[in-house]
Protein backbone atom coordinates (compact mmCIF):
# COMPACT_ATOMS: atom_id res chain seq x y z
CA UNK A 1 0.00 0.00 0.00
CA UNK A 2 1.33 3.45 -0.86
CA UNK A 3 2.32 5.74 1.98
CA UNK A 4 1.54 8.81 -0.13
CA UNK A 5 -1.62 9.28 -2.15
CA UNK A 6 -3.01 11.90 -4.48
CA UNK A 7 -5.72 13.74 -2.57
CA UNK A 8 -6.93 16.40 -5.00
CA UNK A 9 -6.86 17.32 -8.69
CA UNK A 10 -7.33 20.98 -9.68
CA UNK A 11 -7.48 22.60 -13.11
CA UNK A 12 -6.84 26.23 -14.02
CA UNK A 13 -7.55 27.36 -17.61
CA UNK A 14 -5.74 30.59 -18.43
CA UNK A 15 -4.79 32.06 -21.76
CA UNK A 16 -4.29 29.17 -24.16
CA UNK A 17 -3.08 26.82 -21.42
CA UNK A 18 -4.66 24.40 -18.98
CA UNK A 19 -2.69 24.19 -15.74
CA UNK A 20 -3.07 21.18 -13.46
CA UNK A 21 -2.24 20.99 -9.77
CA UNK A 22 -2.11 17.69 -7.89
CA UNK A 23 -1.91 17.65 -4.09
CA UNK A 24 -0.98 14.65 -1.96
CA UNK A 25 -2.22 13.71 1.48
CA UNK A 26 1.18 14.78 2.82
CA UNK A 27 0.68 18.30 1.48
CA UNK A 28 3.10 18.10 -1.45
CA UNK A 29 1.83 19.75 -4.62
CA UNK A 30 2.88 19.28 -8.23
CA UNK A 31 1.93 21.37 -11.26
CA UNK A 32 1.89 20.87 -15.01
CA UNK A 33 0.77 22.64 -18.17
CA UNK A 34 -1.05 21.54 -21.30
CA UNK A 35 0.01 23.44 -24.42
CA UNK A 36 -2.98 22.39 -26.52
CA UNK A 37 -3.56 26.11 -26.94
CA UNK A 38 -6.53 25.87 -29.29
CA UNK A 39 -8.97 24.34 -26.80
CA UNK A 40 -7.81 24.55 -23.16
CA UNK A 41 -11.36 23.96 -21.93
CA UNK A 42 -11.53 20.64 -23.74
CA UNK A 43 -8.27 19.57 -22.09
CA UNK A 44 -9.79 20.45 -18.73
CA UNK A 45 -12.74 18.15 -19.42
CA UNK A 46 -10.35 15.27 -20.09
CA UNK A 47 -8.41 15.94 -16.89
CA UNK A 48 -11.68 15.97 -14.95
CA UNK A 49 -12.53 12.57 -16.43
CA UNK A 50 -9.25 11.23 -15.00
CA UNK A 51 -10.01 12.48 -11.48
CA UNK A 52 -11.53 9.27 -10.10
CA UNK A 53 -8.52 7.27 -11.23
CA UNK A 54 -5.96 9.73 -9.87
CA UNK A 55 -7.43 10.45 -6.43
CA UNK A 56 -6.09 7.83 -4.04
CA UNK A 57 -3.31 6.72 -6.40
CA UNK A 58 0.38 6.57 -5.52
CA UNK A 59 1.91 9.65 -7.23
CA UNK A 60 5.31 7.98 -7.56
CA UNK A 61 4.14 5.39 -10.12
CA UNK A 62 4.55 7.87 -12.96
CA UNK A 63 5.04 5.39 -15.80
CA UNK A 64 2.08 3.26 -14.72
CA UNK A 65 -0.20 6.30 -14.57
CA UNK A 66 0.88 7.39 -18.06
CA UNK A 67 -0.05 4.00 -19.47
CA UNK A 68 -3.36 3.81 -17.59
CA UNK A 69 -4.49 7.22 -18.82
CA UNK A 70 -3.40 6.59 -22.40
CA UNK A 71 -4.60 3.00 -22.77
CA UNK A 72 -7.92 3.20 -20.89
CA UNK A 73 -9.82 4.41 -23.97
CA UNK A 74 -9.14 4.42 -27.69
CA UNK A 75 -8.94 8.21 -28.11
CA UNK A 76 -5.81 9.96 -29.35
CA UNK A 77 -4.72 13.47 -30.30
CA UNK A 78 -3.68 16.78 -28.80
CA UNK A 79 -6.52 17.22 -26.33
CA UNK A 80 -5.91 13.84 -24.70
CA UNK A 81 -2.16 14.32 -25.09
CA UNK A 82 -2.39 17.73 -23.45
CA UNK A 83 -4.25 16.33 -20.44
CA UNK A 84 -1.80 13.46 -19.94
CA UNK A 85 1.16 15.78 -20.45
CA UNK A 86 0.05 18.24 -17.76
CA UNK A 87 -0.63 15.43 -15.28
CA UNK A 88 2.71 13.79 -16.03
CA UNK A 89 4.62 17.03 -15.38
CA UNK A 90 2.77 17.41 -12.08
CA UNK A 91 3.66 13.85 -11.03
CA UNK A 92 7.36 14.45 -11.72
CA UNK A 93 7.09 17.72 -9.78
CA UNK A 94 5.64 15.86 -6.76
CA UNK A 95 8.28 13.13 -6.90
CA UNK A 96 11.18 15.58 -7.04
CA UNK A 97 9.71 17.73 -4.27
CA UNK A 98 9.36 14.61 -2.12
CA UNK A 99 13.06 13.82 -2.54
CA UNK A 100 13.92 17.53 -2.25
CA UNK A 101 15.79 17.71 -5.56
CA UNK A 102 15.08 19.47 -8.87
CA UNK A 103 13.45 17.34 -11.54
CA UNK A 104 16.61 17.41 -13.65
CA UNK A 105 18.43 15.49 -10.92
CA UNK A 106 15.90 12.64 -11.15
CA UNK A 107 16.34 12.57 -14.93
CA UNK A 108 20.05 11.77 -14.67
CA UNK A 109 21.68 15.07 -13.83
CA UNK A 110 23.31 17.68 -16.04
CA UNK A 111 24.61 17.07 -19.51
CA UNK A 112 25.14 20.83 -19.98
CA UNK A 113 25.28 23.97 -17.85
CA UNK A 114 22.30 25.73 -19.47
CA UNK A 115 19.83 25.39 -22.32
CA UNK A 116 20.34 27.53 -25.40
CA UNK A 117 17.29 29.69 -26.10
CA UNK A 118 16.17 30.12 -29.71
CA UNK A 119 14.22 33.35 -30.06
CA UNK A 120 11.12 33.14 -32.26
CA UNK A 121 10.87 35.97 -34.81
CA UNK A 122 8.22 36.98 -37.32
CA UNK A 123 7.61 39.97 -39.55
CA UNK A 124 5.85 41.23 -42.66
CA UNK A 125 8.91 42.36 -44.61
CA UNK A 126 12.58 41.56 -45.12
CA UNK A 127 13.50 44.69 -43.17
CA UNK A 128 11.38 43.68 -40.18
CA UNK A 129 12.77 40.18 -39.83
CA UNK A 130 16.36 41.34 -40.39
CA UNK A 131 16.02 44.06 -37.75
CA UNK A 132 14.47 41.62 -35.28
CA UNK A 133 17.35 39.18 -35.82
CA UNK A 134 19.88 41.94 -35.20
CA UNK A 135 18.06 42.85 -31.98
CA UNK A 136 18.22 39.19 -30.91
CA UNK A 137 21.99 39.12 -31.42
CA UNK A 138 22.38 42.25 -29.30
CA UNK A 139 20.30 40.57 -26.57
CA UNK A 140 22.72 37.65 -26.46
CA UNK A 141 20.88 35.04 -28.53
CA UNK A 142 22.99 32.69 -30.64
CA UNK A 143 20.00 31.09 -32.38
CA UNK A 144 16.67 32.29 -33.76
CA UNK A 145 13.72 30.69 -35.49
CA UNK A 146 12.19 32.92 -38.13
CA UNK A 147 8.57 32.38 -39.15
CA UNK A 148 9.44 33.14 -42.73
CA UNK A 149 6.11 32.28 -44.36
CA UNK A 150 3.35 34.80 -43.58
CA UNK A 151 -0.34 35.02 -44.43
CA UNK A 152 0.51 37.54 -47.14
CA UNK A 153 2.36 34.85 -49.10
CA UNK A 154 -0.88 33.01 -49.86
CA UNK A 155 -1.87 35.92 -52.09
CA UNK A 156 1.30 35.81 -54.19
CA UNK A 157 2.04 33.93 -57.37
CA UNK A 158 4.58 31.11 -57.04
CA UNK A 159 7.62 32.94 -58.41
CA UNK A 160 6.83 36.09 -56.45
CA UNK A 161 6.25 34.11 -53.25
CA UNK A 162 9.53 32.20 -53.46
CA UNK A 163 11.46 35.34 -54.40
CA UNK A 164 10.04 37.16 -51.37
CA UNK A 165 10.89 34.29 -49.00
CA UNK A 166 14.44 34.05 -50.33
CA UNK A 167 14.76 37.82 -50.08
CA UNK A 168 13.79 37.77 -46.40
CA UNK A 169 16.39 35.16 -45.55
CA UNK A 170 19.01 36.95 -47.62
CA UNK A 171 18.33 40.17 -45.71
CA UNK A 172 18.86 38.34 -42.43
CA UNK A 173 22.26 36.98 -43.48
CA UNK A 174 23.32 40.36 -44.85
CA UNK A 175 22.41 41.94 -41.52
CA UNK A 176 23.74 39.42 -38.96
CA UNK A 177 26.31 37.45 -40.91
CA UNK A 178 27.11 33.80 -40.28
CA UNK A 179 27.54 33.63 -36.52
CA UNK A 180 23.81 33.45 -35.76
CA UNK A 181 22.11 30.07 -36.20
CA UNK A 182 18.89 30.73 -38.14
CA UNK A 183 16.10 28.18 -38.31
CA UNK A 184 13.37 28.68 -40.89
CA UNK A 185 9.71 27.93 -40.12
CA UNK A 186 7.39 27.46 -43.11
CA UNK A 187 4.43 26.51 -40.90
CA UNK A 188 3.03 23.71 -43.08
CA UNK A 189 2.13 26.18 -45.84
CA UNK A 190 3.71 24.78 -48.99
CA UNK A 191 3.15 21.93 -51.42
CA UNK A 192 6.04 19.46 -51.84
CA UNK A 193 7.23 20.79 -55.21
CA UNK A 194 7.30 24.41 -54.11
CA UNK A 195 9.01 23.58 -50.83
CA UNK A 196 11.76 21.67 -52.66
CA UNK A 197 12.33 24.66 -54.94
CA UNK A 198 12.51 27.06 -52.00
CA UNK A 199 14.85 24.82 -50.00
CA UNK A 200 17.24 24.60 -52.92
CA UNK A 201 17.36 28.39 -53.22
CA UNK A 202 17.97 29.03 -49.51
CA UNK A 203 20.52 26.22 -49.03
CA UNK A 204 23.51 28.57 -49.68
CA UNK A 205 22.25 30.72 -46.78
CA UNK A 206 22.88 27.77 -44.43
CA UNK A 207 19.69 27.46 -42.39
CA UNK A 208 20.06 25.60 -39.11
CA UNK A 209 16.89 23.80 -40.21
CA UNK A 210 13.77 24.15 -42.32
CA UNK A 211 10.67 23.26 -40.31
CA UNK A 212 7.38 21.89 -41.58
CA UNK A 213 7.72 22.86 -45.25
CA UNK A 214 4.61 20.76 -45.97
CA UNK A 215 1.61 19.76 -43.85
CA UNK A 216 2.43 17.00 -41.33
CA UNK A 217 -0.29 14.71 -42.69
CA UNK A 218 2.03 12.23 -44.40
CA UNK A 219 5.39 10.97 -43.15
CA UNK A 220 5.93 9.44 -46.59
CA UNK A 221 5.48 12.80 -48.35
CA UNK A 222 7.75 14.54 -45.84
CA UNK A 223 10.44 11.91 -46.39
CA UNK A 224 10.22 12.39 -50.14
CA UNK A 225 10.81 16.12 -49.75
CA UNK A 226 13.75 15.51 -47.38
CA UNK A 227 15.41 13.24 -49.95
CA UNK A 228 15.36 16.00 -52.57
CA UNK A 229 16.85 18.87 -50.57
CA UNK A 230 20.25 19.73 -49.08
CA UNK A 231 19.07 21.47 -45.91
CA UNK A 232 18.45 19.97 -42.44
CA UNK A 233 14.76 19.24 -41.90
CA UNK A 234 12.73 19.55 -38.70
CA UNK A 235 9.20 18.45 -37.74
CA UNK A 236 7.09 17.16 -34.89
CA UNK A 237 5.43 20.03 -33.04
CA UNK A 238 1.99 18.56 -33.71
CA UNK A 239 2.92 14.95 -32.90
CA UNK A 240 1.76 13.47 -29.62
CA UNK A 241 3.34 10.03 -29.13
CA UNK A 242 6.58 8.10 -29.56
CA UNK A 243 4.82 6.02 -32.19
CA UNK A 244 4.20 9.05 -34.38
CA UNK A 245 7.74 10.29 -33.79
CA UNK A 246 9.21 6.87 -34.55
CA UNK A 247 7.85 7.08 -38.09
CA UNK A 248 9.38 10.51 -38.63
CA UNK A 249 12.69 9.44 -37.06
CA UNK A 250 12.91 6.35 -39.27
CA UNK A 251 11.24 7.53 -42.48
CA UNK A 252 10.98 11.32 -42.44
CA UNK A 253 14.56 12.29 -43.21
CA UNK A 254 14.76 14.55 -40.17
CA UNK A 255 17.81 16.27 -38.74
CA UNK A 256 15.80 17.51 -35.75
CA UNK A 257 12.70 16.34 -33.88
CA UNK A 258 10.37 18.95 -32.37
CA UNK A 259 8.40 17.43 -29.44
CA UNK A 260 6.31 19.62 -27.13
CA UNK A 261 6.26 18.58 -23.46
CA UNK A 262 2.73 19.98 -23.16
CA UNK A 263 1.12 17.68 -25.75
CA UNK A 264 3.61 14.87 -26.47
CA UNK A 265 3.14 12.99 -23.21
CA UNK A 266 4.93 15.16 -20.70
CA UNK A 267 8.38 14.49 -19.30
CA UNK A 268 7.95 10.71 -19.35
CA UNK A 269 7.21 10.50 -23.06
CA UNK A 270 9.42 13.31 -24.37
CA UNK A 271 12.45 11.63 -22.79
CA UNK A 272 11.68 8.56 -24.91
CA UNK A 273 11.23 10.66 -28.05
CA UNK A 274 14.63 12.25 -27.46
CA UNK A 275 16.19 8.79 -27.10
CA UNK A 276 14.65 7.69 -30.40
CA UNK A 277 16.25 10.68 -32.08
CA UNK A 278 19.58 10.16 -30.30
CA UNK A 279 19.77 6.62 -31.70
CA UNK A 280 19.68 8.15 -35.21
CA UNK A 281 22.03 11.06 -34.39
CA UNK A 282 19.15 13.51 -34.71
CA UNK A 283 18.96 16.61 -32.57
CA UNK A 284 16.10 17.90 -30.41
CA UNK A 285 14.62 21.37 -30.93
CA UNK A 286 11.49 21.30 -28.75
CA UNK A 287 8.40 23.23 -29.68
CA UNK A 288 8.01 25.69 -26.83
CA UNK A 289 5.95 28.57 -28.20
CA UNK A 290 3.32 29.58 -27.21
CA UNK A 291 4.10 27.52 -24.09
CA UNK A 292 3.53 29.12 -20.74
CA UNK A 293 6.09 29.26 -17.93
CA UNK A 294 5.42 25.80 -16.46
CA UNK A 295 5.89 23.94 -19.73
CA UNK A 296 8.96 26.10 -20.39
CA UNK A 297 10.41 24.98 -17.06
CA UNK A 298 9.65 21.33 -17.85
CA UNK A 299 11.48 21.72 -21.15
CA UNK A 300 14.51 23.25 -19.42
CA UNK A 301 14.69 20.39 -16.90
CA UNK A 302 14.68 17.95 -19.81
CA UNK A 303 17.11 20.00 -21.85
CA UNK A 304 19.71 20.07 -19.09
CA UNK A 305 19.81 16.26 -19.10
CA UNK A 306 19.20 15.24 -22.74
CA UNK A 307 22.49 14.99 -24.67
CA UNK A 308 21.05 15.76 -28.13
CA UNK A 309 19.04 18.84 -27.05
CA UNK A 310 20.23 21.49 -29.51
CA UNK A 311 18.21 24.54 -28.48
CA UNK A 312 14.76 25.53 -27.24
CA UNK A 313 12.51 28.03 -28.97
CA UNK A 314 11.53 30.84 -26.66
CA UNK A 315 9.85 34.19 -26.21
CA UNK A 316 10.63 36.34 -23.20
CA UNK A 317 8.27 35.69 -20.29
CA UNK A 318 9.46 38.06 -17.59
CA UNK A 319 7.07 40.98 -17.04
CA UNK A 320 4.59 39.63 -19.59
CA UNK A 321 1.10 38.14 -19.40
CA UNK A 322 2.75 34.70 -19.19
CA UNK A 323 4.52 35.59 -15.95
CA UNK A 324 1.24 36.54 -14.24
CA UNK A 325 0.16 32.90 -13.76
CA UNK A 326 3.25 31.91 -11.75
CA UNK A 327 5.29 33.44 -8.96
CA UNK A 328 8.49 33.38 -11.01
CA UNK A 329 9.70 32.26 -14.44
CA UNK A 330 12.81 30.42 -15.59
CA UNK A 331 15.55 33.08 -15.92
CA UNK A 332 16.82 33.98 -19.37
CA UNK A 333 20.39 35.32 -19.25
CA UNK A 334 22.17 36.44 -22.43
CA UNK A 335 20.25 33.97 -24.56
CA UNK A 336 20.50 31.01 -22.16
CA UNK A 337 17.89 29.38 -19.91
CA UNK A 338 19.12 28.19 -16.53
CA UNK A 339 17.36 25.37 -14.65
CA UNK A 340 15.90 26.04 -11.22
CA UNK A 341 17.76 24.46 -8.31
CA UNK A 342 14.65 24.41 -6.14
CA UNK A 343 12.92 21.05 -5.57
CA UNK A 344 10.57 19.85 -8.29
CA UNK A 345 10.06 22.02 -11.33
CA UNK A 346 10.84 25.06 -9.20
CA UNK A 347 7.53 26.70 -10.14
CA UNK A 348 4.50 27.87 -8.15
CA UNK A 349 1.13 28.87 -9.58
CA UNK A 350 -0.23 32.32 -8.77
CA UNK A 351 -3.95 31.83 -8.26
CA UNK A 352 -4.74 35.55 -8.44
CA UNK A 353 -2.86 35.81 -11.71
CA UNK A 354 -4.61 32.73 -13.09
CA UNK A 355 -8.02 34.14 -12.17
CA UNK A 356 -7.26 37.44 -13.90
CA UNK A 357 -6.00 35.81 -17.12
CA UNK A 358 -8.89 35.22 -19.54
CA UNK A 359 -9.14 31.90 -21.35
CA UNK A 360 -8.36 32.10 -25.04
CA UNK A 361 -10.05 29.64 -27.42
CA UNK A 362 -9.10 29.81 -31.07
CA UNK A 363 -11.66 30.32 -33.79
CA UNK A 364 -11.62 28.72 -37.22
CA UNK A 365 -10.19 30.92 -39.96
CA UNK A 366 -7.99 29.13 -42.47
CA UNK A 367 -6.13 31.22 -45.06
CA UNK A 368 -7.69 31.19 -48.52
CA UNK A 369 -6.32 31.70 -52.00
CA UNK A 370 -7.60 34.16 -54.59
CA UNK A 371 -10.18 31.67 -55.90
CA UNK A 372 -11.64 31.21 -52.41
CA UNK A 373 -10.24 27.72 -51.86
CA UNK A 374 -8.55 26.83 -48.57
CA UNK A 375 -4.77 27.18 -48.76
CA UNK A 376 -2.44 24.36 -47.77
CA UNK A 377 -1.63 24.52 -44.09
Which range of residues forms the domain containing residue 97? Answer: 6-102
Find the helix or strand (DSSP H, E) in which 82 lies: helix 78-98
Say if residue 191 is in the same domain as residue 113: yes
Active site residues: 187, 287
Do 192 and 51 lie in one domain? The reply is no
CA gap 152, 215 in Å, rounded: 18
**Lowest-confidence range among 72-81, 265-274, 295-304?**
72-81
Same domain assignment for residues 112 and 179: yes
Residues 6+ apart with CB under 8 A from 262: 17, 33, 34, 35, 36, 82, 85, 86, 291, 295, 298
CATH of the domain at 159: 3.20.20.120
DSSP 8-state symbol, 373: P
Residues 184 and 51 in one domain: no
Residues 62 and 189 in one domain: no
Could you tell me if 139 and 259 lie in one domain? Answer: yes
| pTM of the model as a whole | 0.95
The CATH number linked to 59 is 3.30.390.10
Shared domain for 79 and 123, answered yes or no, is: no
Same domain, 49 and 172: no
Same domain, 116 and 73: no
Within this chain, do residues 35 and 148 fall inside the same structural domain, yes or no? no
Query: How many domains is the chain partitioned into structurally?
Result: 2
177-210 burial by CB neighbour count: b if 16+ within 10 A, else e? eeebbbbbbbbbbbebebbbbbbeebeebebbbb
Mean pLDDT across the chain: 94
pLDDT in tens, 72-100: 888 889 999 999 999 999 999 999 999 99
pLDDT interval class at 2 (50, 70, 90): low
Residues 149, 62 share a domain: no
Examine residue 354 and state whether it is found in any structural domain, yes or no. no
Amino acid sequence: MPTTRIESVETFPAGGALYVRLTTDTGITGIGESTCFGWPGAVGEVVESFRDYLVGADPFDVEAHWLHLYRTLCFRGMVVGGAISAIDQALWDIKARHFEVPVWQLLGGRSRRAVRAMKVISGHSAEEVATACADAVRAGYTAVKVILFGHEHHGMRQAQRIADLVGRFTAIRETVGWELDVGIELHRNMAPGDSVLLCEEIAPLRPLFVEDPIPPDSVYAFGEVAKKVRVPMAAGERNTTIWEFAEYVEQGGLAYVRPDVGIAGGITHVRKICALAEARHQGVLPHAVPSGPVATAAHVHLGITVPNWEAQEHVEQENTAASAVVKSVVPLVDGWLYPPDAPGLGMELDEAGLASTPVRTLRVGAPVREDGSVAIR
